[in-house]
A and B are shown apart, each in its own frame.
Chain A
Protein backbone atom coordinates (compact mmCIF):
# COMPACT_ATOMS: atom_id res chain seq x y z
CA UNK A 1 0.00 0.00 0.00
CA UNK A 2 1.26 3.39 -0.86
CA UNK A 3 0.67 5.98 1.77
CA UNK A 4 0.40 9.63 1.03
CA UNK A 5 2.93 11.89 2.71
CA UNK A 6 0.04 13.66 4.41
CA UNK A 7 -0.52 10.56 6.55
CA UNK A 8 3.01 10.68 7.88
CA UNK A 9 4.17 12.14 11.13
CA UNK A 10 7.76 12.86 12.08
CA UNK A 11 8.07 9.62 14.04
CA UNK A 12 6.06 7.42 11.74
CA UNK A 13 6.28 4.10 9.94
CA UNK A 14 9.31 2.25 11.27
CA UNK A 15 9.84 2.65 15.00
CA UNK A 16 13.42 3.64 15.76
CA UNK A 17 14.07 0.53 17.87
CA UNK A 18 13.01 -1.77 15.05
CA UNK A 19 15.11 0.26 12.69
CA UNK A 20 18.13 -0.01 14.98
CA UNK A 21 17.57 -3.78 15.25
CA UNK A 22 17.66 -3.93 11.50
CA UNK A 23 21.00 -2.12 11.55
CA UNK A 24 22.27 -4.50 14.20
CA UNK A 25 21.17 -7.42 12.10
CA UNK A 26 22.87 -5.99 9.03
CA UNK A 27 26.02 -5.37 10.99
CA UNK A 28 25.95 -8.95 12.31
CA UNK A 29 25.51 -10.19 8.76
CA UNK A 30 28.38 -7.97 7.73
CA UNK A 31 30.67 -9.40 10.37
CA UNK A 32 29.71 -12.95 9.47
CA UNK A 33 30.36 -12.23 5.84
CA UNK A 34 33.60 -10.49 6.50
CA UNK A 35 35.02 -13.26 8.62
CA UNK A 36 34.19 -15.62 5.80
CA UNK A 37 36.41 -13.57 3.54
CA UNK A 38 40.12 -13.34 4.04
CA UNK A 39 42.76 -10.61 4.35
CA UNK A 40 41.25 -7.45 2.96
CA UNK A 41 38.08 -7.68 4.99
CA UNK A 42 40.03 -8.09 8.21
CA UNK A 43 41.44 -4.65 7.49
CA UNK A 44 37.91 -3.39 7.07
CA UNK A 45 37.01 -4.71 10.48
CA UNK A 46 40.02 -2.93 11.91
CA UNK A 47 38.83 0.44 10.68
CA UNK A 48 36.40 2.17 13.04
CA UNK A 49 32.78 1.22 12.48
CA UNK A 50 30.48 3.99 11.38
CA UNK A 51 27.56 4.40 13.71
CA UNK A 52 24.68 6.14 11.99
CA UNK A 53 21.88 7.69 13.93
CA UNK A 54 18.89 5.99 12.51
CA UNK A 55 16.20 8.13 11.02
CA UNK A 56 12.58 7.64 10.23
CA UNK A 57 11.87 5.66 7.10
CA UNK A 58 9.73 7.35 4.50
CA UNK A 59 7.64 5.35 2.07
CA UNK A 60 5.42 6.16 -0.85
CA UNK A 61 7.67 8.94 -2.04
CA UNK A 62 6.72 10.55 -5.34
CA UNK A 63 9.35 10.43 -8.07
CA UNK A 64 10.47 13.74 -9.51
CA UNK A 65 11.16 14.70 -13.13
CA UNK A 66 14.02 16.83 -11.79
CA UNK A 67 15.94 13.74 -10.65
CA UNK A 68 19.18 12.83 -12.36
CA UNK A 69 19.88 9.25 -13.34
CA UNK A 70 23.56 9.61 -12.49
CA UNK A 71 25.06 7.14 -10.06
CA UNK A 72 24.22 8.12 -6.50
CA UNK A 73 26.96 8.43 -3.92
CA UNK A 74 26.91 5.97 -1.05
CA UNK A 75 25.07 6.82 2.16
CA UNK A 76 28.35 6.33 3.96
CA UNK A 77 30.10 9.00 1.84
CA UNK A 78 27.31 11.52 2.24
CA UNK A 79 27.17 11.01 6.02
CA UNK A 80 30.92 10.98 6.71
CA UNK A 81 32.19 13.77 4.49
CA UNK A 82 30.38 16.90 5.59
CA UNK A 83 30.88 20.61 5.88
CA UNK A 84 28.85 21.58 8.94
CA UNK A 85 31.17 24.01 10.69
CA UNK A 86 29.03 24.26 13.82
CA UNK A 87 30.20 20.69 14.52
CA UNK A 88 33.85 21.21 13.52
CA UNK A 89 35.75 22.16 10.37
CA UNK A 90 37.13 18.75 9.38
CA UNK A 91 34.99 16.74 6.97
CA UNK A 92 34.85 13.89 9.49
CA UNK A 93 33.89 16.07 12.47
CA UNK A 94 30.13 16.53 11.90
CA UNK A 95 29.47 12.77 11.92
CA UNK A 96 31.33 12.43 15.23
CA UNK A 97 30.23 15.61 16.95
CA UNK A 98 26.56 15.74 16.01
CA UNK A 99 25.64 12.34 17.47
CA UNK A 100 23.82 13.81 20.45
CA UNK A 101 22.36 16.82 18.67
CA UNK A 102 18.82 17.17 19.98
CA UNK A 103 16.32 17.94 17.22
CA UNK A 104 13.13 17.04 19.09
CA UNK A 105 10.39 19.68 19.43
CA UNK A 106 11.85 21.45 16.41
CA UNK A 107 10.01 24.46 15.07
CA UNK A 108 10.58 26.65 12.03
CA UNK A 109 9.47 30.24 12.31
CA UNK A 110 8.13 31.95 9.19
CA UNK A 111 8.06 35.71 9.60
CA UNK A 112 8.64 39.12 8.06
CA UNK A 113 6.75 40.45 5.06
CA UNK A 114 4.02 37.81 5.06
CA UNK A 115 0.29 37.87 5.62
CA UNK A 116 0.41 34.70 7.70
CA UNK A 117 3.47 34.55 9.94
CA UNK A 118 3.54 31.34 11.97
CA UNK A 119 5.63 28.61 13.54
CA UNK A 120 5.68 25.16 11.98
CA UNK A 121 6.38 22.00 13.94
CA UNK A 122 8.17 19.19 12.10
CA UNK A 123 4.93 17.22 11.88
CA UNK A 124 3.27 20.21 10.25
CA UNK A 125 6.13 20.59 7.78
CA UNK A 126 5.94 16.92 6.82
CA UNK A 127 2.25 17.29 6.04
CA UNK A 128 2.62 20.55 4.17
CA UNK A 129 3.01 18.92 0.75
CA UNK A 130 3.50 15.43 -0.70
CA UNK A 131 7.05 14.26 -0.16
CA UNK A 132 9.14 13.60 -3.24
CA UNK A 133 12.48 11.98 -3.81
CA UNK A 134 14.77 14.24 -5.80
CA UNK A 135 18.14 12.98 -6.94
CA UNK A 136 20.24 16.11 -7.32
CA UNK A 137 23.83 16.87 -8.14
CA UNK A 138 25.39 18.76 -5.23
CA UNK A 139 28.49 20.85 -6.00
CA UNK A 140 30.61 22.20 -3.16
CA UNK A 141 32.52 25.46 -3.58
CA UNK A 142 35.63 23.42 -2.71
CA UNK A 143 35.36 21.65 -6.09
CA UNK A 144 34.00 18.26 -5.01
CA UNK A 145 30.54 16.99 -5.77
CA UNK A 146 28.05 14.29 -4.85
CA UNK A 147 24.76 12.89 -6.14
CA UNK A 148 22.16 12.61 -3.38
CA UNK A 149 18.57 11.32 -3.30
CA UNK A 150 17.04 14.07 -1.16
CA UNK A 151 13.49 13.95 0.20
CA UNK A 152 11.27 16.98 0.46
CA UNK A 153 9.08 19.26 -1.61
CA UNK A 154 9.41 22.52 -3.48
CA UNK A 155 9.98 25.37 -1.06
CA UNK A 156 7.34 27.35 -2.99
CA UNK A 157 4.66 25.27 -1.20
CA UNK A 158 5.62 26.89 2.07
CA UNK A 159 5.93 30.34 0.51
CA UNK A 160 2.39 30.18 -0.87
CA UNK A 161 1.08 29.22 2.57
CA UNK A 162 2.78 32.20 4.19
CA UNK A 163 1.36 34.63 1.60
CA UNK A 164 4.25 37.06 1.21
CA UNK A 165 3.38 40.73 0.75
CA UNK A 166 4.55 42.67 -2.36
CA UNK A 167 7.39 44.02 -0.20
CA UNK A 168 8.92 40.56 0.07
CA UNK A 169 11.84 40.64 -2.39
CA UNK A 170 14.18 38.24 -0.61
CA UNK A 171 14.04 35.30 1.79
CA UNK A 172 16.48 35.14 4.69
CA UNK A 173 17.28 31.78 6.29
CA UNK A 174 18.82 31.06 9.67
CA UNK A 175 20.32 27.87 11.09
CA UNK A 176 20.00 26.65 14.63
CA UNK A 177 22.98 27.48 16.81
CA UNK A 178 23.56 26.36 20.38
CA UNK A 179 27.16 26.74 21.57
CA UNK A 180 26.51 24.14 24.28
CA UNK A 181 25.49 21.51 21.74
CA UNK A 182 28.00 22.76 19.19
CA UNK A 183 31.12 23.65 21.20
CA UNK A 184 33.40 23.18 18.17
CA UNK A 185 31.61 26.05 16.45
CA UNK A 186 33.70 28.65 18.24
CA UNK A 187 36.78 27.58 16.26
CA UNK A 188 35.08 27.65 12.86
CA UNK A 189 36.34 31.10 11.95
CA UNK A 190 32.88 32.14 10.71
CA UNK A 191 30.01 33.79 12.59
CA UNK A 192 27.04 31.80 13.88
CA UNK A 193 24.12 31.43 13.67
CA UNK A 194 24.68 30.58 10.01
CA UNK A 195 22.56 32.74 7.73
CA UNK A 196 21.72 32.44 4.06
CA UNK A 197 19.35 34.00 1.57
CA UNK A 198 17.65 33.78 -1.80
CA UNK A 199 16.00 36.23 -4.13
CA UNK A 200 12.24 35.70 -4.23
CA UNK A 201 12.25 34.20 -7.75
CA UNK A 202 15.02 31.81 -6.73
CA UNK A 203 13.03 30.77 -3.67
CA UNK A 204 9.97 30.14 -5.84
CA UNK A 205 11.86 28.09 -8.43
CA UNK A 206 10.49 24.54 -8.35
CA UNK A 207 14.03 23.15 -8.00
CA UNK A 208 14.46 24.87 -4.63
CA UNK A 209 13.80 22.11 -2.15
CA UNK A 210 12.71 22.19 1.46
CA UNK A 211 14.42 18.97 2.48
CA UNK A 212 13.54 16.65 5.34
CA UNK A 213 15.38 13.49 4.39
CA UNK A 214 17.67 11.53 2.12
CA UNK A 215 18.16 7.91 1.05
CA UNK A 216 14.59 7.08 2.07
CA UNK A 217 15.06 8.26 5.67
CA UNK A 218 14.86 11.45 7.68
CA UNK A 219 18.01 13.59 7.63
CA UNK A 220 20.93 12.45 9.78
CA UNK A 221 22.16 15.15 12.16
CA UNK A 222 25.40 15.75 10.25
CA UNK A 223 23.48 16.45 7.04
CA UNK A 224 21.32 19.19 8.55
CA UNK A 225 18.58 17.49 10.57
CA UNK A 226 15.70 17.83 10.82
CA UNK A 227 15.02 20.23 7.95
CA UNK A 228 17.27 22.07 5.49
CA UNK A 229 17.29 23.78 2.13
CA UNK A 230 18.71 22.24 -1.05
CA UNK A 231 19.42 24.58 -3.95
CA UNK A 232 21.12 22.39 -6.55
CA UNK A 233 22.35 25.05 -9.00
CA UNK A 234 24.23 26.93 -6.28
CA UNK A 235 27.36 26.01 -4.34
CA UNK A 236 26.64 23.74 -1.40
CA UNK A 237 27.04 26.38 1.29
CA UNK A 238 23.86 28.11 0.04
CA UNK A 239 21.87 25.00 1.05
CA UNK A 240 21.51 25.95 4.71
CA UNK A 241 21.23 23.17 7.29
CA UNK A 242 19.13 22.72 10.45
CA UNK A 243 16.77 25.51 9.52
CA UNK A 244 14.92 27.40 12.27
CA UNK A 245 13.95 30.74 10.74
CA UNK A 246 12.62 31.89 7.38
CA UNK A 247 12.15 35.64 7.04
CA UNK A 248 10.69 37.42 4.04
CA UNK A 249 12.08 40.90 3.55
CA UNK A 250 12.64 43.76 1.14
CA UNK A 251 16.41 43.99 1.54
CA UNK A 252 19.02 41.50 0.36
CA UNK A 253 19.91 39.56 3.52
CA UNK A 254 23.48 39.06 4.74
CA UNK A 255 24.95 35.58 4.15
CA UNK A 256 27.55 33.90 6.35
CA UNK A 257 30.35 33.14 3.88
CA UNK A 258 29.92 36.48 2.19
CA UNK A 259 30.36 38.16 5.58
CA UNK A 260 33.48 36.08 6.23
CA UNK A 261 35.15 36.75 2.84
CA UNK A 262 33.17 39.09 0.56
CA UNK A 263 35.70 38.83 -2.28
CA UNK A 264 35.47 35.02 -2.32
CA UNK A 265 31.79 34.24 -1.75
CA UNK A 266 28.97 36.26 -3.30
CA UNK A 267 25.27 36.38 -2.50
CA UNK A 268 24.29 34.43 -5.62
CA UNK A 269 27.05 31.79 -5.60
CA UNK A 270 25.65 30.04 -8.63
CA UNK A 271 27.78 27.13 -9.79
CA UNK A 272 29.82 28.67 -12.60
CA UNK A 273 32.86 27.02 -14.20
CA UNK A 274 33.82 30.33 -15.82
CA UNK A 275 34.14 32.33 -12.63
CA UNK A 276 36.91 31.00 -10.42
CA UNK A 277 37.17 31.26 -6.70
CA UNK A 278 40.01 33.75 -6.12
CA UNK A 279 42.16 30.95 -4.71
CA UNK A 280 41.21 27.97 -6.85
CA UNK A 281 39.62 26.98 -10.16
CA UNK A 282 35.93 26.16 -10.42
CA UNK A 283 36.26 24.71 -13.95
CA UNK A 284 36.47 21.14 -12.68
CA UNK A 285 35.21 19.06 -9.81
CA UNK A 286 35.91 15.71 -8.23
CA UNK A 287 32.86 13.50 -7.83
CA UNK A 288 33.38 11.64 -4.56
CA UNK A 289 34.41 8.11 -5.39
CA UNK A 290 36.37 9.15 -8.47
CA UNK A 291 40.09 9.85 -8.77
CA UNK A 292 40.24 12.32 -11.64
CA UNK A 293 38.24 15.52 -11.95
CA UNK A 294 35.59 16.20 -14.56
CA UNK A 295 34.26 19.45 -15.99
CA UNK A 296 31.81 21.47 -13.94
CA UNK A 297 28.56 22.40 -15.69
CA UNK A 298 27.11 25.91 -15.76
CA UNK A 299 24.47 26.17 -13.01
CA UNK A 300 25.56 22.64 -12.09
CA UNK A 301 23.67 21.39 -15.13
CA UNK A 302 20.35 23.01 -14.13
CA UNK A 303 20.54 25.84 -16.68
CA UNK A 304 17.26 24.86 -18.37
CA UNK A 305 15.37 25.52 -15.14
CA UNK A 306 17.28 28.51 -13.78
CA UNK A 307 19.32 30.38 -16.41
CA UNK A 308 16.41 32.69 -17.34
CA UNK A 309 16.39 34.15 -13.82
CA UNK A 310 19.83 35.62 -14.45
CA UNK A 311 19.46 36.83 -18.03
CA UNK A 312 21.04 40.24 -18.45
CA UNK A 313 23.01 39.89 -15.21
CA UNK A 314 26.80 40.03 -15.22
CA UNK A 315 27.56 36.79 -13.41
CA UNK A 316 31.23 37.73 -13.07
CA UNK A 317 30.18 40.72 -10.96
CA UNK A 318 27.25 38.97 -9.28
CA UNK A 319 29.23 35.85 -8.44
Chain B
Protein backbone atom coordinates (compact mmCIF):
# COMPACT_ATOMS: atom_id res chain seq x y z
CA UNK B 1 0.00 0.00 0.00
CA UNK B 2 2.78 2.40 0.96
CA UNK B 3 4.65 1.68 -2.23
CA UNK B 4 1.52 2.40 -4.21
CA UNK B 5 0.87 5.66 -2.40
CA UNK B 6 4.43 6.94 -2.73
CA UNK B 7 4.95 5.93 -6.36
CA UNK B 8 5.17 8.90 -8.70
CA UNK B 9 3.01 7.02 -11.18
CA UNK B 10 0.06 7.02 -8.81
CA UNK B 11 0.01 10.78 -9.01
CA UNK B 12 0.10 10.72 -12.79
CA UNK B 13 -2.73 8.19 -12.92
CA UNK B 14 -4.78 10.19 -10.43
CA UNK B 15 -4.25 13.34 -12.49
CA UNK B 16 -5.62 11.60 -15.56
CA UNK B 17 -8.53 10.14 -13.59
CA UNK B 18 -9.43 13.64 -12.37
CA UNK B 19 -9.68 14.75 -16.00
CA UNK B 20 -12.28 12.07 -16.82
CA UNK B 21 -15.28 14.33 -16.04
CA UNK B 22 -13.91 16.93 -18.46
CA UNK B 23 -13.17 14.23 -21.01
CA UNK B 24 -16.71 12.94 -20.61
CA UNK B 25 -18.09 16.38 -21.42
CA UNK B 26 -15.81 16.63 -24.45
CA UNK B 27 -16.84 13.18 -25.62
CA UNK B 28 -20.51 14.07 -25.28
CA UNK B 29 -19.98 17.42 -26.99
CA UNK B 30 -18.50 15.69 -30.03
CA UNK B 31 -21.31 13.14 -30.18
CA UNK B 32 -24.23 15.48 -29.46
CA UNK B 33 -24.73 13.76 -26.13
CA UNK B 34 -25.10 16.96 -24.11
CA UNK B 35 -28.87 16.85 -24.40
CA UNK B 36 -31.36 19.53 -25.32
CA UNK B 37 -29.78 22.13 -23.05
CA UNK B 38 -26.00 21.72 -23.32
CA UNK B 39 -25.21 24.84 -21.29
CA UNK B 40 -27.28 23.61 -18.37
CA UNK B 41 -25.78 20.13 -18.68
CA UNK B 42 -22.22 21.47 -18.49
CA UNK B 43 -23.20 23.81 -15.66
CA UNK B 44 -24.75 21.03 -13.58
CA UNK B 45 -21.94 18.59 -14.32
CA UNK B 46 -19.11 20.99 -13.44
CA UNK B 47 -21.01 22.10 -10.33
CA UNK B 48 -21.42 18.54 -9.13
CA UNK B 49 -17.77 17.73 -9.79
CA UNK B 50 -16.69 20.82 -7.86
CA UNK B 51 -18.63 19.56 -4.84
CA UNK B 52 -17.24 16.05 -5.31
CA UNK B 53 -13.64 17.27 -5.48
CA UNK B 54 -14.20 19.42 -2.39
CA UNK B 55 -15.45 16.30 -0.61
CA UNK B 56 -12.46 14.26 -1.86
CA UNK B 57 -10.08 16.99 -0.65
CA UNK B 58 -11.73 17.17 2.74
CA UNK B 59 -11.59 13.36 3.03
CA UNK B 60 -7.81 13.18 2.85
CA UNK B 61 -7.08 14.20 6.44
CA UNK B 62 -9.68 11.87 8.04
CA UNK B 63 -8.55 8.95 5.88
CA UNK B 64 -4.89 9.61 6.68
CA UNK B 65 -5.60 9.39 10.37
CA UNK B 66 -8.33 6.76 10.53
CA UNK B 67 -6.62 4.38 8.09
CA UNK B 68 -3.14 5.41 9.26
CA UNK B 69 -2.03 6.24 5.71
CA UNK B 70 -0.08 9.50 6.07
CA UNK B 71 1.15 9.28 2.45
CA UNK B 72 -2.33 10.21 1.23
CA UNK B 73 -1.27 13.84 1.79
CA UNK B 74 0.55 13.69 -1.55
CA UNK B 75 -2.76 13.88 -3.38
CA UNK B 76 -4.55 16.57 -1.40
CA UNK B 77 -3.25 19.58 -3.32
CA UNK B 78 -4.08 18.01 -6.66
CA UNK B 79 -7.64 17.19 -5.58
CA UNK B 80 -8.13 20.69 -4.22
CA UNK B 81 -6.84 22.23 -7.42
CA UNK B 82 -9.19 20.08 -9.44
CA UNK B 83 -12.08 21.38 -7.32
CA UNK B 84 -10.89 24.86 -8.28
CA UNK B 85 -10.52 23.84 -11.92
CA UNK B 86 -14.11 22.58 -12.12
CA UNK B 87 -15.51 25.58 -10.23
CA UNK B 88 -13.77 27.84 -12.77
CA UNK B 89 -15.50 26.01 -15.63
CA UNK B 90 -18.76 26.20 -13.70
CA UNK B 91 -18.31 29.94 -13.20
CA UNK B 92 -17.47 30.45 -16.88
CA UNK B 93 -20.75 28.81 -17.97
CA UNK B 94 -22.49 31.35 -15.77
CA UNK B 95 -20.49 34.40 -16.85
CA UNK B 96 -20.60 33.45 -20.53
CA UNK B 97 -23.83 31.83 -21.70
CA UNK B 98 -25.96 33.02 -18.76
CA UNK B 99 -24.70 36.60 -18.40
CA UNK B 100 -23.32 37.10 -21.94
CA UNK B 101 -19.93 38.14 -20.43
CA UNK B 102 -21.60 41.29 -19.10
CA UNK B 103 -19.78 41.94 -15.81
CA UNK B 104 -22.22 44.66 -14.77
CA UNK B 105 -25.19 42.35 -15.19
CA UNK B 106 -23.27 39.62 -13.40
CA UNK B 107 -22.57 41.79 -10.35
CA UNK B 108 -26.21 42.78 -10.15
CA UNK B 109 -27.23 39.16 -10.31
CA UNK B 110 -24.65 38.15 -7.69
CA UNK B 111 -25.89 40.86 -5.34
CA UNK B 112 -29.58 40.13 -5.88
CA UNK B 113 -29.87 36.34 -5.82
CA UNK B 114 -28.90 34.67 -2.57
CA UNK B 115 -28.17 31.34 -4.26
CA UNK B 116 -25.81 33.07 -6.70
CA UNK B 117 -24.29 35.17 -3.89
CA UNK B 118 -23.42 32.15 -1.80
CA UNK B 119 -22.08 30.22 -4.81
CA UNK B 120 -19.94 33.14 -5.86
CA UNK B 121 -18.66 33.51 -2.30
CA UNK B 122 -17.60 29.88 -2.28
CA UNK B 123 -15.80 30.42 -5.58
CA UNK B 124 -13.98 33.53 -4.26
CA UNK B 125 -12.90 31.64 -1.14
CA UNK B 126 -11.15 29.06 -3.29
CA UNK B 127 -9.13 31.64 -5.27
CA UNK B 128 -6.52 32.44 -2.57
CA UNK B 129 -6.27 28.75 -1.74
CA UNK B 130 -5.42 27.89 -5.33
CA UNK B 131 -2.86 30.72 -5.49
CA UNK B 132 -1.15 29.75 -2.23
CA UNK B 133 -1.15 26.04 -2.99
CA UNK B 134 2.54 26.00 -3.97
CA UNK B 135 5.44 25.01 -1.73
CA UNK B 136 6.82 28.54 -2.09
CA UNK B 137 3.68 30.05 -0.65
CA UNK B 138 3.64 27.59 2.25
CA UNK B 139 7.18 28.72 3.07
CA UNK B 140 6.34 32.40 2.67
CA UNK B 141 3.26 32.20 4.87
CA UNK B 142 4.64 29.74 7.36
CA UNK B 143 2.95 26.41 8.06
CA UNK B 144 0.69 27.69 10.82
CA UNK B 145 -0.69 30.70 8.91
CA UNK B 146 -0.99 28.65 5.74
CA UNK B 147 -3.06 26.02 7.60
CA UNK B 148 -5.36 28.68 9.05
CA UNK B 149 -5.85 30.27 5.61
CA UNK B 150 -6.64 26.94 4.03
CA UNK B 151 -9.41 26.28 6.51
CA UNK B 152 -11.39 28.52 4.14
CA UNK B 153 -12.14 25.31 2.24
CA UNK B 154 -14.58 24.37 5.04
CA UNK B 155 -16.61 27.47 4.30
CA UNK B 156 -16.30 27.02 0.54
CA UNK B 157 -17.74 23.50 0.85
CA UNK B 158 -20.60 24.72 3.05
CA UNK B 159 -21.29 27.55 0.58
CA UNK B 160 -21.31 25.04 -2.28
CA UNK B 161 -23.89 22.84 -0.55
CA UNK B 162 -26.15 25.82 0.28
CA UNK B 163 -25.79 27.08 -3.32
CA UNK B 164 -26.96 23.68 -4.60
CA UNK B 165 -29.76 23.38 -2.03
CA UNK B 166 -31.16 26.80 -2.88
CA UNK B 167 -30.98 26.09 -6.59
CA UNK B 168 -33.19 23.00 -6.78
CA UNK B 169 -36.96 23.42 -6.99
CA UNK B 170 -38.30 20.64 -4.81
CA UNK B 171 -36.22 17.46 -5.00
CA UNK B 172 -33.54 18.13 -2.36
CA UNK B 173 -32.12 14.61 -2.17
CA UNK B 174 -28.90 15.36 -4.04
CA UNK B 175 -28.01 18.59 -2.17
CA UNK B 176 -28.77 16.85 1.13
CA UNK B 177 -26.47 13.99 0.18
CA UNK B 178 -23.53 16.35 -0.39
CA UNK B 179 -24.55 18.30 2.72
CA UNK B 180 -24.36 15.10 4.77
CA UNK B 181 -20.90 14.23 3.40
CA UNK B 182 -19.55 17.70 4.15
CA UNK B 183 -21.15 17.63 7.61
CA UNK B 184 -19.56 14.26 8.43
CA UNK B 185 -16.11 15.45 7.29
CA UNK B 186 -16.32 18.70 9.25
CA UNK B 187 -17.77 17.06 12.38
CA UNK B 188 -14.97 14.52 12.29
CA UNK B 189 -12.50 17.43 12.43
CA UNK B 190 -14.36 18.96 15.33
CA UNK B 191 -14.24 15.65 17.20
CA UNK B 192 -10.57 15.23 16.34
CA UNK B 193 -9.81 18.74 17.56
CA UNK B 194 -11.60 18.11 20.90
CA UNK B 195 -9.82 14.82 21.50
CA UNK B 196 -6.44 16.36 20.67
CA UNK B 197 -7.13 19.27 23.01
CA UNK B 198 -7.97 16.86 25.80
CA UNK B 199 -4.76 14.99 25.01
CA UNK B 200 -2.69 18.16 25.16
CA UNK B 201 -4.31 19.21 28.45
CA UNK B 202 -3.69 15.74 29.88
CA UNK B 203 -0.10 15.90 28.70
CA UNK B 204 0.41 19.21 30.43
CA UNK B 205 -1.08 17.92 33.67
CA UNK B 206 0.90 14.70 33.95
CA UNK B 207 4.70 14.68 33.64
CA UNK B 208 4.47 11.24 32.10
CA UNK B 209 2.14 12.45 29.37
CA UNK B 210 4.56 15.19 28.44
CA UNK B 211 6.87 12.57 27.04
CA UNK B 212 4.24 11.44 24.56
CA UNK B 213 4.56 12.98 21.14
CA UNK B 214 2.29 16.03 21.20
CA UNK B 215 3.05 17.04 17.68
CA UNK B 216 0.59 14.52 16.35
Contacts and interface: CB of A to CB of B under 8 A. Distances in A.
Interface in A70-86: 73, 76-78, 80-81, 85
Contacts of A281: 109, 112-113
Interface string A256-270: 000011000000000
B39 A47 contact: no
Size range of the interface on A? 20 to 34
Contacts of A44: 31-32
Contacts of A260: 170
A43 B30 contact: yes
A81 B28 CA distance: 16
Contacts of A76: 36
B35 interface: yes
A286 B170 contact: no
B37 interface: yes
Nearest to B100: A292
Contact of A291 (B31, B35, B39): B39
A101 interface: no
B35 A188 contact: no
Contacts of B113: 279-281
Given A279-B114, A279-B166, A89 B171 contact: yes
Nearest to A43: B31
Contacts of A91: 35-37
Contacts of B39: 286, 291
B47 to A, nearest CB: 14
A46 interface: yes
A65 interface: no
Contacts of A47: 28, 31-33
A189 interface: yes
Contact of B36 (A80, A89, A187): A80
A46 B98 CA distance: 30
A293 B101 CA distance: 12
Contacts of B167: 279
Contact of B37 (A85, A280, A286): A286
Contact of A190 (B32, B35, B170): B170
Contacts of A144: 37, 40
Contacts of B33: 43, 47
A88 to B, nearest CB: 9
A97 B31 CA distance: 24
Given A280-B115, A291-B39, 19 more contacts: A40-B31, A43-B32, A188-B170, A188-B171, A189-B169, A189-B171, A190-B170, A279-B113, A280-B113, A281-B112, A281-B113, A286-B40, A286-B97, A288-B36, A289-B36, A291-B38, A292-B97, A292-B100, A293-B97
Interface of A: 40, 43-44, 46-47, 73, 76-78, 80-81, 85, 89, 91-92, 142, 144, 187-190, 260-261, 279-281, 286, 288-289, 291-293
5 contacts: A40-B31, A43-B27, A91-B35, A279-B115, A279-B167
